[in-house]
Each structure stands twice: as C-alpha cells, then as structure tokens.
Structure 1
Amino acid sequence: MTDKILRIYNTLTRAKEDFSPIDPGNVRMYVCGPTVYDFAHIGNARPVIVFDVLFRLLRHLYGDDHVTYARNITDVDDKINDRALRDFGKDIASGKLSLNEAIRRVTEKTANQFHDDVKALGCLPPTFEPRATEFVEPRPDGKTDMVGLIQGLIARGHAYEANGEVLFDISSMPDYGQLSKRPLDQQQAGARIAVDAHKKSPGDFVLWKLSSPEEPGWNSPWGRGRPGWHIECSAMSAAYLGEVFDIHGGGLDLIFPHHENEIAQSRCAHGTAVMANYWLHNGFLQVEGRKMSKSEGNFVTIYDLLHTEKFGGRKWPGEVLRLAMLMTHYREPIDFSVRKLEEAENTLRKWKRVADTATDTDAAVSGELLSRLADDLGTYSGFQVLNELAAEASEQSEAASVLKASLAFLGFDMSHAGVDEAEVSARIAERLAFIAQKNWAEADRIRDALLAEGVQLKDGKDPATGQRVTTWEVKR
C-alpha cells in the first residue's frame, strides 16, 4: 500500500472526499455493465474506460491482489426478449428453438462482442463478471440471489405482492431518495419491466413480475416469473463484494431510478446504513454535438468505430478511442467527434514516437501523473504531465522511459511504441493505389515519410499471384 491520498467525488454527498476503504487488504468496487441485447455503443464505452483507469489506480495504490472489481452482464431483460423474437421468431414458432435458447443465442453473441470491444479499448478484465441469469434462484454455493433478497424484503415489511407482482414499498424507507435527491412527487417507477397500476404509491417499483408461457421465467414463491431490473445488481454486488462495499460506479443516467433503487433494496434487505460508501458517476456523451440516437442517425457502436468506416470515413484504433474518452474529465459531458479522435490520434502518435526512444525498461510511472489521477481521476491534468515528459525527452533520456511506463500504466499498448499499425497499413494501401496509377511522386513521398518516422518499407511479389506486396519493419 502507499501513503498517497486518493480523493474522489462522491455523488452521495455531492463532495470530493478522501477515499478510505473498509478493508485496505480487499478494496471492493462494483460497476454496472451492459445489457447484452445489442452491440455496445460508444456511450457504453465511457464508464468501461473510466472505471478501468480507477481499477488500475487502486491496484497501484493497494496492490494487484488487494482490489476486487465486479462488473455485471445483464442477460435477462424485456429488450433481450424482444430481440430474440425479432431475430429467431420463425425458429421459435416452428419449435426449432425455445425462447430461452433464442435468448441465449442473442446474449452470447453480444456478450462476446462486448468482450472483444473492451479488450480493444485497452481495458483489463474485471475480477468477477457475473451474469444476471445465474443469480435469480437460490444457488448451491449460497451466494446472494434475487429470490432470496426479495423474500427478505417481504419479511422485513419493505415489499408486497399485488396482482402477480412483487413491489418495493418506498414509503417503508423514510430516507429513500438520498442519492438522487429528487422530491417524492418526481419519483416514478422507472423499471425496465412494464408496471401496472396496483401500487401503494407511484414510486413503488417492481422486484418480481410473473411471466406468461411465451416469456422466459424462473420458479419462485410468487409463481413463475422474472426479476425487475434493479434487484439484479443488488444480488450480484452482494454475492461478490458483501452487503456493504467501497465504490459503486456507473453513468449519470443510472442515478435515478437504477442506483437509487439498488440502494433501497440492498439497505432494507440487509439492514445496513449504506450499500456502498462512495458513488461515482461519469458524465453524458454526445456525438458531434447532438444526443446520440438512431433517429438522429448518429448512433455509433464500438464495433462500428473499430471495424467499419461509418464514423469519419475510416476505422479507428481502440487506443485512440480510449485517449479521446480520457481527454475530458470523467464527470464532465463529452462531445465525441471526428475532430476529437483526430486530436487523440495525433497526440498518441507524438507520445509513442518519443516513448520509442526509451532506454530504461524498469522506469517507474510518473509520480506527478499518479498525483493528478489521485485527485478525482484527473486524466486531463495528467495528460499535461505526459506532454511535459515528451518535451523533456529530447534533453533527458529518462523522461522518455517514464513516459513509456506511464502510458503502459494508463492502458496503452507500448509493444510497438511510436508506431500506429493501423495507420501504417492505411498509408501502405494509399501508396499502392498511387503505384497502380503510376503516380510515382506521391508513392515515393509516402515511402519517404514513413522512413522518416522509422518505418522501412520493402516491396516484393506474392509468389502465388505475382501481385505486388509491401512489408514493413521498424528501424530502431
């Protein structure tokens, strides 16, 4: 452990506070993960990247083996049901697939794509990644489950049955609403499962809802049904982190109703004063100055950015997306744009070019960078430190080594420091097009520019097809 003080903005208190873990030997963090009915969009990428940086910082401060990070997968949801019916409706109708089997196909595909996407963004895997469907019914290992939590809430007088549903009674919790600080008359049910009008008060929300024969369901004391949205995270966080843990994170859009209702369920089920001591929320994201939506035509998935030319007419490396996200403080709104990506790409190329001259393979991460990050994840301020290191490297060889270590700490791939492989491939393709047009001047210009950057091209022929091929290597 270290004596560095980590200060973070706590949404619960609306203040920046010194972080004091419950147990320094096991710092615990939970972050709401994706609902896997479709590929993750660029807005989903922001909390994944932000809390990956916090995970890395906590591991540095307390030790890799002393931080537990849980991020869930929501694979039970009415949107998932709808997507399964859309994609596999004919197979379900013909009896080739059950609805549950179709749902599994939808969620497996999208969950696997999510993992590929966040890996490309340079994110570490969490310590645990529970799936909601695995925590509905009582478990053989005795870990917290949703049915058990709901039973406890009913027994304590915080939930009631009404017309086939189990609902949380917000009037049973005098201080309900502390996180969002919304007046009671502004609190609505907000569950992802449709709620009928048989509630004691408008803010009561669904814990359990009965399923029809055509809908997925699990057995419970209240009949075959499925859980509400909020109870899922209460069960999964308690299963891996305990009844009270250190940090709960997510986007601003989750403060109400999701996080507010998580707190209500967890506190009332366990009889605790808090669910988590610190609540962190990243800001909203717009795309090119507008709210992202399919109707606006600016809905962009991480996959689109990495693998298609949908945004800005080209593919973007994952680490460029990562830097573009971190160039804005995590609590501030961000305007995700082609211009921001281009700025991030140029900055990263400059840093890597300098880092490529590093000679000390055991250099430590910049202490000043760590201090900036320890002040509420000040990545924007921290990047000023990296710029200073890059400027100093021409006179101090040590600065390049510290820069390289610092970039690696932040999650950037330094195995080919100074070289953007996707960019090199694109410029080689451009050069080959000029050669095909017999525009030798432009072809030579690209070759010479790459050589000046330390990338040497070698032309040859494919022995099978006889076509021109170009290979390259970095000249140290």
Structure 2
Amino acid sequence: MALRLYNTLTRRKDDFSPLDPERVRLYVCGPTVYDRAHIGNARPVIVFDVLFRLLRHLYGADHVVYARNITDIDDKIIDRAAERGITIRELTEGTARGFAEDVDALGCLRPTVEPRATDHIPEMIAVVERLVAGGHAYAPTEDGGAGHVLFAVGSMPDYGRLSNRTLDEMVAGARVEVAPYKRADGDFVLWKPSALHEPGWDSPWGRGRPGWHLECSAMSWKHLGETFDIHGGGLDLIFPHHENELAQSCCAFHRPVMAQVWMHNGFLQVEGQKMSKSLGNFVTIRDLLGTESFGGRRWPGEVLRLAMLRTHYRQPIDWTAKALEESERTLDRWYAAAEGVAPGEPAQGFLDELSDDLNTPGAIATLHGLMGESNTRGAGIASARLLGLLQAAPSDWAARREAEAGVDAAAVETLIAERLAARREKRWADSDRIRGELAALGVVLKDNKDGTTSWDVGRKGTA
C-alpha cells in the first residue's frame, strides 16, 4: 500500500510522492525553550517521530532529513529569564537540555538537524530583504514604527488558504496587535526593535530581533530548501503561525507552496478537561516520568508513548491514568511474549495500517494479533519497533518493572511454588492467602492451562 497522508492544505488524503525520493524532507515546529515541555507538547514529538521512522523504512534511513527547530529567542524567554534572574543563554541551554532528555525517554529518535533560531539571524534578515524588495513587506518610519518590518497580507491574494479563512475572519478571530504604523490590521511583524536590555542583532532596519513566524521560514529554507515535502505541528499552529510561515516563504521565494503536505495533530485534554495550571491538571513530561503526580505513580516513557499512539493523531485525545494503566499492561504482555524471540520484518498488514495516514490505532490492533501467536511474534517485534516500542530487552523491562514495584523476584517464585503445592493438595484457603500476599506486593498471577502459573507486576493491592 502506498503512503497516504491527510493534507491540511488540500483537506484530503492523498498518495504521498516526495519531491526527491533520495532526499525526503520533513520539518516540524519544535519547542520554545522557556519551560518544561508538557504532555500536550509531547504529542507532535511522538507523532512525527513515528512518521520519521516510517519514512526511513520506506525510503532508507540515509534518504530522509528531519528538521525540528528550537526557538531560543522569544518574548516569553526574555520574561522568564528576567523572572528567574538568570541569563537568556542559561535559561535556553538548560531548558533545551531538559527537553532532549524528556523526548529521549519517550523513545524518540533525534532529528537529523535541530536548528536554533539564534544561529540563523542572517537567513532571517535575507528573507525579510527579499520580501521588502518584492513589495510584500514594508518598514514604517512614522507613528512609532521605526525599526519594525511588517508583512503586508494584502500583497498575497490567497493569504488564508491553509486555515481556510478570509482575512476578515482571521483578524476577527485573532488577538491582532493594534498599531498606528500598520497599513492593515492583519499585517504581522517580521522584525522588531530591541530595547537596550533585550537581545538584539544589527540589521538594515536597526538593532532588533525576529518575529516568531519568520524563524521557521528561515530555518526550513536553510536546511530543507525553498520547498520541501512535509511540514508538521499541532492543530493550534495552523493560524497564525503556519499561515504566516507559508505566506513568508511563498512570497520570498516565488513558489506556489512552501511544503507539499501540511500535517497537524489534534488537541490533548487531561481526564476530560482542558489542561490548565489553574485547574491543577497541568502535567509535564518530566512529572510523568519522574514523580508520582499523575495516577499516584511514575510511568515509563514507553508507556506514555503507547498511550499517545492509541488515538489517531488527528483526533483529540483524553490523557487519563486508566489509559496509561492499560498501555502498561499491554507492554507487559508484549514483552513477555517477546522473550527469546528474534525480530523479523514488519508485517505487511501492520505497514498497510500505518501507511494509511499514520493509523496507529489500526497498527496497534494488528500488533495485538501478531504478538498473540508464536509464529508471528518476530514480525510483531519488528512492527512494534517501527512504532518506537519494544526497544528494551524483555529481561530488562521485567527487571525494571520489578524494581519499580519493589518486588523480590526470588521471593515471588517461592510463594508461587507454595501456592501451587497448596492447590495440588486442595488447601484452598492457603492458596487464596498466598495469592492475597502476592497481590499486596503488586504481583498479578495467571494460572495457565498446563498447570503452571505466570506472574507480572501490576498495581499494589490488585489481584
């Protein structure tokens, strides 16, 4: 089956055909490094990591270039550094390092390139100069506009085609900055002046810094070219960020498109509510990995990953402790089934599902079948690894789960042997008592048809 992707720009699902099969190019908007990434930020990271893995499988690892930027200059960054009394570099370096550690724990491959905004100021200035020369941008000199350069949205007849809105609808639905030096309300900032205490760079329009939208146009141009294959990000970025990126790039380089395909993942809520610090349900990736703030426990990164992939990327997702528990039990079963099995090649049925607009729920359903049959487990392991799952050795996974639960494996085996003896001798009260002791330790038993008993680590107090 050919790879088919839903394109926000065309509003349909089409066969994907790269501009150059020898160099398939993917760009995804990355973090603004002023604070820890929350679990909603993890969704595009995981979704587009799966796409990156699939493209590498289809076209070869050496023929796919994945760029995910780091925004390290932004008003939020300036304000947060001032609040904490540290330099901007200290804030951005520490936050970027923490982000890398978090997404590594989620099983994500590192992108081919991770460009930083502050390393691409010359490219940003070059894009602005092109836009000014082409009549798509202007530098006001009166009414307080000195030092600014703005994109003239009226200069692009089809501005708004990505979000499918008219200019009036976009202005009405956005928090548009009202400024007397603007020619039109919808015009947006490409370059703005910096105060003496703010970071800034010399430019033809004076010392200043770039607007947010400009950064991605410059970085994608630098690393992927004037046009490329796929641009990804969250649904919330369609307008204004991606709409303005598209406008800048198309007008600067006189191209009909910036990216052939635009992909956007859906929103995330927590336990049925919008995630908000005021509601007390704001959860970072680090919280889930390293504290007991969600569901009363810590969670392995692979569990977070599987829980995220159980919902199709374009659909809204409800992040719940129940979904994490179910994902963990699934991984426990798959790792147990993978013990002593050599990986094979991904199953065709699995690839067909994944190639249908990253249908991860369908791919996971196929995986359940593959891991449930002994003669297909090799294909199941390879398929799971294409999703970024089952990367650890089964013994390492089991050891980690035992350690997390504080379980002494030798003691568990001794109790199971005692229980089996009690069952053979029909001492049912002793058998039930031992099962209860194991349940209190977080050990879940399964009595098999052949008379043996297998066990796994679950939640304490459950049988």
Question: TM range, normalised to the smaller chain?
Answer: 0.7 to 0.9
**Deviations for 1:183-242, whole angstroms, at most 9, x for unmatched residues?**
211223999996634211111000001011011111111111110000000000000000
- Cα distance change of structure 1 residues 429 and 13 upon mapping to structure 2, 3 Å threshold: same
Correspondence for 2:322 = 339
Q: Note closer, same or farther for the CA distance 1:38–1:189 as it changes in structure 2 (3 Å cut).
A: farther
Matched-pair contact (CA < 8 Å) for 2:232–2:264: yes
Amino acid at match of 2:401: E
Q: 1:326 — aligned with what?
A: 309
Q: Deviations over 1:24-67 (max 9, x none)?
A: 01000000000000000000000000000000000010001000
| Counterpart code for 1:151 | E
* 1:388 lines up with 2:373 in the alignment: no
Q: Tell me if structure 1 keeps the 8 A contact 2:135–2:155.
A: yes
Residue 112 of structure 1 corresponds to 97
Please state if 1:370 is matched with 2:351.
yes
Contact 1:187 1:202 in 2 (8 A): no
The TM-score, its normalising length taken from structure 2, stands at: 0.86
Q: Distance in 1 between matches of 2:277 and 2:176?
A: 22
SS at match of 1:17: strand
Aligned residue number for residue 188 of structure 1: 171
One of 199, 207, 226 as aligned partner of 1:216: 199
Residue pair 1:389, 1:400 contacting (<8 A) in 2 also:
yes
**Which position in structure 2 is the counterpart of 1:423?**
401
TM-score calculated relative to the size of structure 1? 0.84
Q: Does the CA-based 8 Å contact 1:71-1:129 persist in structure 2?
A: yes
Q: How far, CA to CA, are the matches of 2:178 and 2:297 in structure 1?
A: 44
2:136 counterpart (140, 158, 162): 158
Looking at structure 2, the residues matched to 333 and 326 of structure 1 have their Cα atoms a distance apart, in angstroms, of 12
- How much does 1:402 deviate? 1.4
- 8 Å CA contact 1:149, 1:235 repeated in 2: yes
Identity %: 58
- Post-superposition Cα deviations, 1:282-325, rounded to whole Å, max 9, x if no partner, equal 00000111111111111110000000111111100000000000
User: 5+ unaligned residues in a row in structure 2: which ranges?
Assistant: 413-432, 446-451, 458-463
Give matches, 1:303-322, under 5 Å: 303-322=286-305
Aligned equivalents of 2:120, 2:224: Cα separation in 1: 14
Contact 2:162 2:238 in 1 (8 A): yes
Residue aligned with 1:74, SS: coil
User: What does residue 36 of structure 2 align with?
Assistant: 39
1:125 counterpart (110, 115, 128): 110
- Cα distance in 2 between the residues matched to 1:453 and 1:135: 57
**Pair 1:344–1:28, CA change in 2 (3 A):** same
Aligned residue in 2 for 1:149: 127
Letter in 2 for 1:231: L
What residue number does 1:70 align with? Answer: 67
Quote the Cα distance in structure 2 between the aligned partners of 1:166 and 1:186.
Answer: 24
Query: 2: CA distance between counterparts of 1:190 and 1:35?
Result: 23
Amino acid at match of 2:402: V
Report deviation, 1:392.
Answer: 2.0
* Residues 72 and 130 in structure 1, CA contact (< 8 A), matched pair in contact too: yes
Cα distance in structure 2, aligned partners of 1:238 and 1:166: 20
* 1:6-17 matches, cutoff 5 A: 6-17=3-14
Q: Match of 1:468?
A: none
Q: Distance in 2 between matches of 1:193 and 1:117?
A: 34
CA distance in 1, matches of 2:368, 2:82: 51
- CA RMSD, Structure 1 to Structure 2 (Å): 2.5
Distance in 1 (CA, whole Å) between partners of 2:284 and 2:176 is 25
Check the 8 A contact 2:176/2:186 in 1, yes or no. Answer: no
| Pick aligned residue for 2:24 from 22, 27, 32 | 27
Deviates more, 1:297-306 or 1:405-414: 405-414
Residue 267 (structure 1) shift: 0.4
2:228 matches 1:245:
yes
User: Which SS does the other structure have where 1:28 is aligned?
Assistant: strand
Please identify runs of 4+ aligned residues in structure 1 that moved more than 4 A: 189-195, 429-432, 440-456
